[in-house]
Amino acid sequence: MTDSKTPTAAVLLIGNELLSGKIRDRNGYALSRMLRRRGIRLVELVVVEDDDHAIAGTLHRLLARTPLIFTSGGVGPTHDDRTIPAIASALDRPLRRHPEMEALLRKYYGDKIGDVALRMADLPEGTSLRAGTTWPILRLDLPHDHPAAAGRDARIYILPGVPELCQAKIDALEAAPDELPNAGGWLLLTVETNIEESVVAPVLQQYTRDFPQLEIGSYPRWERHKNGKLRGVVRVTLEAPVNFSDDVKRAQAQLEAELRDLAAATAQASSSS
């Protein structure tokens, strides 16, 4: 667990195709990687259906946890693209025809523009266009006194669902000066051991108490030894924002030594039995 100064964010993925398995999510992964690079802790990633109530209710819940929200999906012109009206309804912001967005759409579609495409220019009041000229990122800022903002300034970025477009917008956002918080990234160090995970577990439990500022993960896998037999390997990850780098390094060195001693003791007990 990190300290209260670490910026946080949540990701809201929208689309029946994700819930049905027709499409494998790539956008949540891309966002989580970008956030980690910037030292922003992702507190929740959630997938909801193309339903106004589901989108609005989840958005309210996420805003109560963190002031920075990214949505992905449901922003096109078809019947199941419900993100924009759902957000407008959730935040009590009327939909208004955005002149700049309308101009971009007219330039993109040319003579083929129609009422359906133009509906993509109907945005929640107060939406600004960021980091893009063809298909910009929609940004909605909420003042601290907004009923959904939980007493702090909040911001929602509305991204497309098509993975290639979403990735391009994530890259553009990250490259835009002063657009996103930057806490300097995270430091991730690892320790590997052949000791059974059930034996390692009590040790790691103690480390969560000794180093509460760290995120500690345990990931077992099986690999084939040169003698042909399978053996278990436990990979332990130790990570925290860069301002806790000394703690991460100290925990790694201490854990390596402790696991070496534990492995030796286990081997000795096994040989003497």
For residues 117 and 243, state if they share a domain.
Answer: no
180 assigned to some structural domain: no
Q: What is the spatial distance between Cα 203 and Cα 72, in angstroms, rounded to a whole number?
A: 39
Would you give the distance in Å from CA 86 to the centre of its chain?
Answer: 21
259 assigned to some structural domain: yes
Would you give the distance in Å from CA 41 to the centre of its chain?
Answer: 8
Confidence of residue 26 (pLDDT cuts 50, 70, 90): very high
Residue 214 has pLDDT above 90, yes or no: yes
Residue 41 has pLDDT above 80, yes or no: yes
For residues 14 and 121, state if they share a domain.
Answer: yes
Cα distance from N-terminal residue to C-terminal residue, the chain: 41
Confidence of residue 263 (pLDDT cuts 50, 70, 90): confident
Confidence of residue 91 (pLDDT cuts 50, 70, 90): very high
262 assigned to some structural domain: yes
For residues 64 and 130, state if they share a domain.
Answer: yes
State both tokens at 141. Answer: 């800022």
Q: What is the spatial distance between Cα 201 and Cα 262, in angstroms, rounded to a whole number?
A: 12
State both tokens at 64. Answer: 């109560």
Task: Specify the number of domains making up the chain.
Answer: 2
State both tokens at 100. Answer: 């700049």
Give the C-alpha distances (Å, rounded to integers) separating 21 from 12, 15, 55.
17, 10, 19
| Main-chain dihedrals φ then ψ at residue 68, nearest 5 degrees | -125, 115
CATH code, domain with 216? 3.30.70
238 assigned to some structural domain: yes
Q: What is the spatial distance between Cα 17 and Cα 163, in angstroms, rounded to a whole number?
A: 13
166 assigned to some structural domain: yes
Confidence of residue 250 (pLDDT cuts 50, 70, 90): very high
Q: What is the spatial distance between Cα 152 and Cα 142, in angstroms, rounded to a whole number?
A: 8
pLDDT of 230:
77
Q: Which of 22, 69, 78 is nearest to 42 (CA)?
A: 69
For residues 51 and 71, state if they share a domain.
Answer: yes
Give the C-alpha distances (Å, rounded to integers) separating 100 from 84, 136, 141, 185, 239.
17, 10, 18, 34, 43
For residues 163 and 238, state if they share a domain.
Answer: no
Residue ending a domain, among 175, 208, 224, is 175
207 assigned to some structural domain: yes
Full DSSP string of 161-220: SSHHHHHHHHHHHHHSTTSS-----EEEEEEEE-S-HHHHHHHHHHHHHH-TTSEEEEEE
1 assigned to some structural domain: no
For residues 129 and 223, state if they share a domain.
Answer: no
Nearest 5°: the CA angle 76, 79, 82 is 65
For residues 117 and 242, state if they share a domain.
Answer: no
State the burial class of residue 175 (Cβ atoms within 10 Å of its Cβ: 0-12, 13-18, 19+): exposed
pLDDT of 170:
94
For residues 151 and 245, state if they share a domain.
Answer: no
At 146-181, the pLDDT tens digits run: 999 999 999 999 999 999 999 999 999 999 988 999
For residues 208 and 168, state if they share a domain.
Answer: no
CATH code, domain with 19? 3.40.980.10
Residue ending a domain, among 120, 143, 175, is 175
For residues 46 and 130, state if they share a domain.
Answer: yes
Residue ending a domain, among 175, 204, 222, is 175
- Find the domain containing 220 and state its range: 186-272
Residue 79 has pLDDT above 90, yes or no: no
181 assigned to some structural domain: no
For residues 155 and 190, state if they share a domain.
Answer: no
For residues 33 and 98, state if they share a domain.
Answer: yes
